[in-house]
Amino acid sequence: QKEVEQDPGPLSVPEGAIVSLNCTYSNSAFQYFMWYRQYSRKGPELLMYTYSSGNKEDGRFTAQVDKSSKYISLFIRDSQPSDSATYLCAMRNSGGYQKVTFGIGTKLQVIP
C-alpha cells in the first residue's frame, strides 16, 4: 500500500462546477500538507500549503486537512477552463530534513 493514495482520474466537470479533489494517507506523522498544480509539460507549482489540521482558503481554492481520518481535500469553486491541469497532493513529516511524499496526481478537465 502506498503512503499516499490519490485517484488519478481523469475528472471532467463543466465550467462553474465545484470540484473536490482528495488524498488519503497512512503515515500519522505527516504534518505538512501541500497541493501542487501541474499544467501539461510544465513543472509542478505550489497551490496551497497547510500545516497540521484545519482549513485554508485562497480565492476560489480551499484546502482541508482531517488528520483523524488521514484525509485531505482541495475544493475549487466556480471552476474555470484554466483550472484544467493535474493536481498533486504532497505531504511530509515535521523537521527540516524530511522528504516529501507525493500522490500520483488527479487529472482535471474543466469543459467550457
Other Cβ atoms closer than 10 A to 106:
21
**Which is nearer to another protein, 39 or 71 (by Cβ)?**
39
**Which is nearer to another protein, 17 or 60 (by Cβ)?**
60
How far apart, in whole angstroms, are the C-alpha atoms of residue 80 and residue 78?
Answer: 6
Tell me whether strands 30-38 and 61-66 are parallel, antiparallel or unpaired: unpaired
What is the binding site for another protein (CB under 8 A)?
A: 8, 32, 34, 36, 41-46, 49, 51, 88, 90, 96-97, 99-100, 102-105
Type of residue at 65:
V
Minimum separation from the CB atom of position 29 to another protein (A): 15
Q: Which grid coordinates are listed for 76?
A: 475549487
**Which is nearer to another protein, 8 or 16 (by Cβ)?**
8
